[in-house]
Each structure stands twice: as C-alpha cells, then as structure tokens.
Amino acid sequence: MLALALSSAAAAQTMDVPLTAVPGEPVRGRAIVTTRPLGLCLLCHAGPFPDRHLHGSIAPDLAGVGARLTPGEIRMRLVDPAASNPESIMPSYRRAAGALRPGRAFQGKPILSDQAIEDVVAFLATLKEE
C-alpha cells in the first residue's frame, strides 16, 4: 500500500466502480487489514491499531487515509498500485498473474477476493483522522 500516500495529482488514478454488487463491510475490512495472515497490510504499514510497535514502517501510515483518498482511489491502489506509482513495491491484491515471487499459497490466484477488497476499501475510507 505504498501508493496510499501519493499526492492528489497522482491520485487522479481512480477506480470508482465497486468490484462487487455487495457493498464493502468495514468490520470485515478491519479484520483483513489488522490480521497479518489475511491482508498482510501491517507488514509494511502502520495505522491507528493496537500494538503499533509491531507495525511496518516502509509504507505510508494508514491513519487518515480516508480523508486523503476517495474510495475509488483506495480501490485502485489495492487493485493496481503501479497505476499511480510505477515504483510501488506493493502487490496487486487482485491480479493473479504476473506477481513477483508470490508465496506458494498465492501462486496463480489473487491475494484477496473482490469482496475482500471492497471490505478493505470500506474500512480504510472510515479512517479520517491523522
């Protein structure tokens, strides 16, 4: 999620149409973001969650991301992080092919389902305070 902190000029890359007909559920999204085996987010990002000393520090802090980016911009960064930052090391959570050295569990399949991505978008959009 390295691309989450890009400026508003780079934020022109957006994906305003949800991936599913079912709206994202913030509670499920929070579980994905804060549970390392599910979303892997806290390997790289910090955020307004317990055990902050165990969070990653190589990517932007998720605090306030919902104030900085629209849901469409958050969705795009999960689906295609390189669209807004070609230097991003964040993986696409949706693409199944072309991933760099995916672990065995993720070979040939996406990291998150479309519904899980929508849940994460719904949760991250609630994070309004820095």
Taking CA 60 as the corner, what is the angle to CA 55 and CA 61, rounded to the nearest 5 degrees? 55
pLDDT in tens, 14-63: 799 999 999 999 999 999 999 988 888 999 999 999 898 889 999 999 99
Distance CA 81, CA 3 (A): 6
Mean per-residue pLDDT for 122-129? 97
Distance of alpha carbon 26 from the chain centroid: 13
Contact 4, 83 (CB under 8 A): no
Between the alpha carbon of residue 6 and those of residues 74, 83, 97, the distances in Å are: 11, 12, 25
**pTM (2 decimals)?**
0.84
